[in-house]
Amino acid sequence: MARPTRPLAQLAPAPSPRGVPEATVARLPLYLRALTSLSDRGVATVSSDELAETAGVNSAKLRKDLSYLGSYGTRGVGYEVEFLRHQITREIGLTQDWAVVIIGIGNLGHALANYGGFASRGFRIAALVDADERRSGEEVAGLKVRHSDELEDVIETLNISIAVVATPAHAAQAVCDRVVAAGITSILNFAPAVVQVPEGVELRKVDLSTELQILAYHEQRKNGAALALTAEQAVELAKAVRG
């Protein structure tokens, strides 16, 4: 008999016995995206091979990752898309929405504030803050930009969980210090600066120049290899001519 909806497991609330590896955590959003896409296409059940393909990872890795969350598949069948999606959503903590403040409403801050993709992924841009008086009061993405004097007040009043730092590099440490003092324990930093935070505060950084530099390294390597090859060929050629 095909089991219909897994009522029992759905009621049992919190598996993940203790500690999901960090590398796995970083891939859960990827699986969630893949599952959402399958769900939109009306797929009800998926095997680890198919899901791995959709998410662009190795299927053994996918299965091992999922095994850290619990035993949510059915041998011989695969995974129920909606059910697994729900489990991952719960594991990541996206059954609730998280309130986010963006600090530094310049080029990047504007783009982030106007981005529509966060809402559908569990985040609500709740406030925008900038130090520049001239920006205060400006309306961006339906929100008034607040002056940074109000930062602590905004964080407390709006019950903000996550701070996104998009200020110039030289201001990043001071801004992080302030939000941490105001009780924030999760920060996403776009400024190219080394920022220190106390134990217990999660700091992630996105550095676009670094990404480009890593690409440049590989690009150069390819070119260098090509040149070396050419040089070798040149020697061969020289030999041939001489010989």
Ligand X SMILES: NC(=O)c1ccc[n+]([C@@H]2O[C@H](COP(=O)([O-])OP(=O)(O)OC[C@H]3O[C@@H](n4cnc5c(N)ncnc54)[C@H](O)[C@@H]3O)[C@@H](O)[C@H]2O)c1
Partner DNA sequence: GGGCACTTGTGAAGCCATGCACAAAGTTGC
Partner DNA sequence: GCAACTTTGTGCATGGCTTCACAAGTGCCC
Q: Which tokens go with 183?
A: 């009780």
d(CA 220, CA 229): 14
**β-pair type (139-140, 143-147):** antiparallel
- Which residues between 97 and 126 bind ligand X (CB under 6 A)? 103-109, 111-112, 115, 117
Contact residue for ligand X among 24, 73, 167, 179 (CB under 6 A): 167
Please give the distance of CA 142 from its chain centroid, rounded to a whole number: 24
Give least dist CB 170 to ligand X, A. 8
d(CA 193, CA 205): 9
Binding mask 14-43 for DNA (x = CB under 7 A): -------xxxx-------------------
Taking alpha carbons only, the member of 84, 102, 9 closest to residue 47 is: 84
Regarding 71 and contact with DNA (CB under 7 A), the answer is yes
Beta bridge partners of 139: 144
Taking alpha carbons only, the member of 55, 51, 59 closest to residue 81 is: 51
d(CA 69, CA 164): 28
Contact residue for DNA among 36, 39, 47, 186 (CB under 7 A): 47
Regarding 192 and contact with ligand X (CB under 6 A), the answer is yes
Question: With respect to its own copies, which residue has the nearer C-beta, 134 or 218?
Answer: 218
Q: Which residues bind its own copies (CB under 8 A)?
A: 14, 25-26, 28-30, 32-34, 54-56, 91-94, 98, 100, 107-108, 110-112, 114-115, 117-118, 121-123, 161-162, 164, 185-188, 192, 194-196, 200, 202, 204, 206-222, 224
Question: With respect to ligand X, which residue has the nearer C-beta, 65 or 130?
Answer: 130
CA-to-CA dists, residue 59 to 51, 56, 113, 228, angstroms: 8, 9, 36, 38
Contact positions vs ligand X (CB under 6 A) = 103-109, 111-112, 115, 117, 129-132, 135, 148, 166-169, 171, 175, 190-192, 208
